Structure 1
Amino acid sequence: MSEKVILCDMDLSQLTEYMTENFAVKPFVAGQLYGWLIKGADFADMTNLSKTLRAALSERCVAQPVKIVRTLTAADGTQKFLFELWDGNVVEGVLMKYKYGNTLCISCQVGCRMGCRFCASTLGGLVRNLSAGEMLGEVIAVNALGKDRYVTNVVMMGSGEPLDNYDNTVKFINLLCSEQGLNFSQRNISLSTCGIAPQMRRLAEEGLSVNLTVSLHNPDNEQRREIMPVANAYSVEEVISAARYYFEKTGRRIIVEYTLIDGQNDSYSHAMRLAALLKGMSAHVNVIALNPVKETGLKGTSGVKLQKFLQYLEKFGVSATRRRTMGQDVEGACGQLRRSYLRGEHE
């Protein structure tokens, strides 16, 4: 049996072409179908389509490639979702509520091969990439929960490295921002990378205006290699140079993520070297308290030392704030919920 077609992988024009060629329907029927898809409907719900067409679609296609199978709600209102993909794999997402709207952190891969020591997503390695429609499906699934959880901002900071799934990531951004679809503003999308420098430069040439977030975590190449294997391929200098290029091409300020690990990257000298790297660059540093992952053995910096680090950066003229920690009481760190779910299934 051939693999089913994920309809959410297509924009309206592609879906229209697919439907007219494969199901011999008129273009307006494809428009009706598309309207149902972005609302999170399954084929059975599409009552303005004929039963015959719905049955044929069910045999050959997937309407919603993502469904929510578990929801955890934190004391601060943050919600952690376990998403089951159409093939049984699971990924996770986090919905964070702010005054300006709802931000959904989505996954772009099942697992991850980047090997960052502080991240639970990478502990089992990479299983597979998500398609563009599956990424879109995460947003659609949360939107379907109701207006109070309607997604206004998307951050690609869940499981996986977006630039290691480059083509699907760019396609997802275009699908999300399609005027006929969810009509997102690209400026409400943030893409986080561990620093695949050539792909950062390639992204700069796409003509997009999404926000680029660079997971740096240490300004010293040797020390960065100890926690981020990607640093064996691309030096800090190469990563920052690519980030500068992205800013030059897009005009979008770069966000630098810096997770503080006790005794490893939280000293005065680290702050000074970070400031030197970013000198003359339009950048803002998000200083992050480590979300502990038991298997890594890494310890987060104390709140007092974190505040001192922020003061050091301020002294050196670096724009920096502490990133608000949300959802910590519901396995909020990337990959934790999926990992505990899989352990529970197989133990």
Structure 2
Amino acid sequence: MLNVKNQQKIQLSNQEYQNYSKQIVLENIGIQGQKRLKNAKVLIIGAGGLGCPVMIYLAVSGIGNIGIIDADKIETSNLNRQILYNKNDVKNFKVISAEKKIKIINSNCIIIKHQYRLNTENSLEILSHYDIVIDATDNFKTRYIIDKICYQLHKIYIYGAVDQFEGQIAIFNYKNGVRYKNLYTPELLLENNNCNRHGIMGIATGYTGTLQAIETIKIVLGLNKKCKNFLLVYNIIKIKNEKRKIYLKRNKNNKINKLDLSNIIFESQLNTIKSNFIIIDLRKNFDFNRKHVKKSINIPIKKFQLNETIKFIEYFKKTNYLIIYCNTLERSLIASRFLNNTGILHYILHPIQ
């Protein structure tokens, strides 16, 4: 947790008073809050689409210690969303360019560069030096490492992920709260999957990274935590930009209910189902029309909350087993949570390779 003793020794310079004058006058921040920000040690794992807006807003807010871990070099294709960089940075290491840009934003910020990938060998030592860990990665293998080490070290884990126009964030391991593995259990075998396969808009990563930075600042300042024990899911191109909350509840023994893996089936099992069944394909119309499993109908996931969709599903479930499918298991799990909340029994068809 945050080191309160060190905070008492923190002093703000005259320049910092000027830089953060508009923040210091806020009731929820003040001088002590600004000192808390300067005293905080935050690790950002991944200096890409999510990591860039996180770094910018933490640095400009006055966070005093930022660690950056990334082994990649900047590519031209990164520039649409990795807003710290420009064409002159291409082929440079991200952590090197990021440090230079952050120092321009906040010269008092101490930057610790980790120019390598997080793994099982180095994770314990690295994470032990920070108060809060921000997940700005794009793969499940690294997230399971973050989850495990944050739990061992009692570190707060701020999760974010983006796919196309959809994003999600959550706070894990906060005050005995839920963990990442409670959302996507290791048994789902997601480690070899990558979350950034289908294209992405820079504004989507910018929005998600900004939300991660907001939650970080709220924790540092001790403000109300609104993302504890649920996953916040949203789509930036919906007309109303509606946000959905998927709660992870505790059972009677005060243990967090994990996802029910018993309802996940594989394609080979479809032929063994003797009763009638219908498959709801959650992908976009274009992907569905190109190729789909037999006995499938197309209901894109963005239409899942519509009352007409629920009435349609309830009608078909009377005479058919309901199976949902998407080419990404994480999206199927989101739809599954929604169906569970409405009391609709169903199966999940594991993504077909």
State the TM-score bracket (shorter-chain normalisation).
under 0.3
Higher relative contact order (CA 8 A, sep 6+): 1
Q: TM-score, normalised by structure 1?
A: 0.25
